[in-house]
Amino acid sequence: MHIVFAASECAPWAKTGGLADVISALPKTLVKMGHKAQVFIPYYRQVAKAVPSPAVILKSITIPFPSYSRFARLLDGGVVDGVQMYFVDCPELFDRESYYATPSGDYPDNAERFGAFCRAVIESTKVLGVPDVFHVHDWQTAMLAVMLRSIYYFDPVFRKVPTILTIHNGGYQGWFPPRTMETLLLPWDMFTKDKLEHYDKVNFLKGGVVYADAITTVSQTYAQEIQTPEFGNGLEGTFRSRAGDLFGILNGADYTEWDPAIDPHIADHYTASKLEGKRECRRDLLHAFRFEDVHENTTVLGVVSRLATQKGIDFIVDILDRLMQEDVVLVMLGSGEEYYERLLTEAAERYPSKMRVQVKFDNVMAHKIEAGSDIFLMPSRYEPGGLNQIYSLKYGTVPVVRATGGLQDTIEELPDGQGNGFKFEGYDSNAFWDAVQRALETFRQKKTWTAMMKRGMAQDFSWEKPAQEYVRIYERTIQNRGN
């Protein structure tokens, strides 16, 4: 089977979150299973720095707009773990400081940018080879599904090619003014409530949900949650209308990247049967954050997160003063909303002996926090899939999470420390505090704690099972589209 992935991110070239990790890991797993996988991403400025002079595959791809045309090139990103990478190069659209926005807001031409990208992917495959299935991701490439069933409706080479849309975060939908229909040459009869129109806006994600042959989300629980007003972000009715074609597939973890037995970024390697190396990783983490004389019984709490309300950072802020009275140290890594960056930086200044914050993303430090912490805090208000809790389990770092989305599906709290972590329900910082207290109390019970660590480390969240589930959906949609 030949699968083309179209996405706005792929690690290590372009990454803001878990989407990039999925686009890196899933295609190479499919290749190991005997399939052919190709990945298309934009040739952002950041990608150009990493791959400065790639070979040109297609010199000119014409992308029409109402009164002008854009011209893109297709660049060879090389074959990585059997996956052919392609970069769509259109400097006026993608040679920018950031991927999607400036500090003052989204780029105003994002509809044109990602509409052009989708069209460039479609046109490229007409030359390079039409796939058996397109797999698109989030609002940035959802328009590819719309275009196949409108602009390209009469193109015979795409008539039987299905599209799978994976929603990594339904909170981001791609809302644009009505004139976007004309900008992208879409027929106006698609600007209706049962198609692309949503509160008098063109909604890219809604269009993808309506026109994709199947929709997946990144956990079973999130697939149910997005059909409710609480998590549907206004699209719950649209999701419910496609319930028969909506599937939850939990993200896997790339254990070639995240495994304490082989991780090149940590101070010492360790396994569930030989845990001594984790103590060295703990010492290394504390040293990296300039902590001195931390007792071995002091609990090290770690956070690697986007600093945003969605990630439950407000819960951490709410309990911080109480938390600092406990025998703990807290290390935090991430960037995001300026409000939380400032609040947490000021808090670290108030508690210099107990708290450190690095306001940035640092992949090496993320690995060190996973390996060196005792407890990982992840109180997300919603979490479609989540990867950090899965990484934490592998590193013997016990998670404390909110019972939502992929966190609900991966973390189990049982009496007497028989689970693999701690959970709390509801939008309540007091419930979060209670879960943290349970974790701290269990940490003091060394035998129980060690058993909990080993239980988490023994779990397998590799990509093989999710990849098999995706293949079944590919096969189903190919069969349905062919009939």
- Residue 420 CA to residue 411 CA, distance in Å, equals 6
Residue 260 lies in a domain: no
Give the chain's length. Answer: 483
The whole-number pLDDT of residue 427 equals 85
Tokens describing residue 368: 């060190």
* Nearest to 214, CA basis, from 171, 166, 180: 166
Task: Write out the residue range of the structural domain in which residue 173 sits.
Answer: 2-252+464-482
Judgement on whether residues 348 and 236 belong to the same structural domain of the protein = no
Judgement on whether residues 363 and 451 belong to the same structural domain of the protein = yes
CA quadruple 344, 350, 354, 356: dihedral sign: positive
- Residue 5 CA to residue 214 CA, distance in Å, equals 15
Tens of pLDDT, residue by residue over 339-374, are 999 999 999 999 999 999 999 888 899 999 999 999
| Residues facing residue 83 across a β-bridge | 80
The structure's pTM equals 0.91
Residue 267 lies in a domain: no
Q: How many domains does the chain have?
A: 2
CB under 8 Å to 217, separation ≥6 — which residues? Answer: 166, 167, 168, 170, 223, 226, 246, 247, 248, 249, 384, 385
Judgement on whether residues 121 and 84 belong to the same structural domain of the protein = yes
Tokens describing residue 378: 């992840």
The whole-number pLDDT of residue 66 equals 94
Question: 């996956």: which residue's tokens?
Answer: 83
Judgement on whether residues 293 and 182 belong to the same structural domain of the protein = no
Judgement on whether residues 342 and 282 belong to the same structural domain of the protein = yes
The whole-number pLDDT of residue 361 equals 81
Q: How many helices (H) and strands (E) does the chain have?
A: 19, 20
Residue 203 lies in a domain: yes
Judgement on whether residues 15 and 39 belong to the same structural domain of the protein = yes
Residue 161 lies in a domain: yes
Tens of pLDDT, residue by residue over 123-137, are 999 999 999 999 999
Mean pLDDT by 10 residues, the chain (483 residues): 97 88 94 98 96 95 94 96 97 94 88 97 97 97 97 94 96 95 96 95 98 96 95 95 96 92 97 96 97 94 93 95 97 92 96 95 93 97 92 98 95 92 93 97 96 96 96 96 76
* Alpha helix stretches (DSSP H) within 72-149: 91-94, 110-128, 138-148
Judgement on whether residues 200 and 283 belong to the same structural domain of the protein = no
Q: Name the DSSP class of 350.
A: H
Alpha-carbon distances of 223 from 18, 81, 477, rounded to whole Å? 17, 30, 18
- Residue 477 CA to residue 475 CA, distance in Å, equals 6
Q: For the stretch 374-404, what's the b/e string if a residue is b when 16 or more beta carbons lie within 10 angstroms of its beta carbon? A: bbbbbbbbbbbbbbbbbbbbbbbbbbbbbbb
Judgement on whether residues 308 and 444 belong to the same structural domain of the protein = yes
Residue 383 lies in a domain: yes
Residue 265 lies in a domain: no
The whole-number pLDDT of residue 226 equals 95
Alpha-carbon distances of 162 from 56, 474, 475, rounded to whole Å? 28, 8, 10
Judgement on whether residues 292 and 440 belong to the same structural domain of the protein = yes
Judgement on whether residues 241 and 346 belong to the same structural domain of the protein = no
CA quadruple 404, 409, 415, 419: dihedral sign: negative
Tokens describing residue 132: 């058996």
Residue 259 lies in a domain: no
Cis peptide before 12 (omega within 30 of 0): yes
Judgement on whether residues 300 and 396 belong to the same structural domain of the protein = yes
Phi, psi of 332 (to 5 degrees): -130, 140
- Residue 275 CA to residue 334 CA, distance in Å, equals 27
The whole-number pLDDT of residue 163 equals 98
CB under 8 Å to 201, separation ≥6 — which residues? Answer: 175, 176, 177, 178
CATH number at residue 394: 3.40.50.2000
Residue 177 lies in a domain: yes
Helix (H) or strand (E) holding 330: strand 328-333
Judgement on whether residues 331 and 453 belong to the same structural domain of the protein = yes
**CA 141 to the chain's CA centroid:** 15
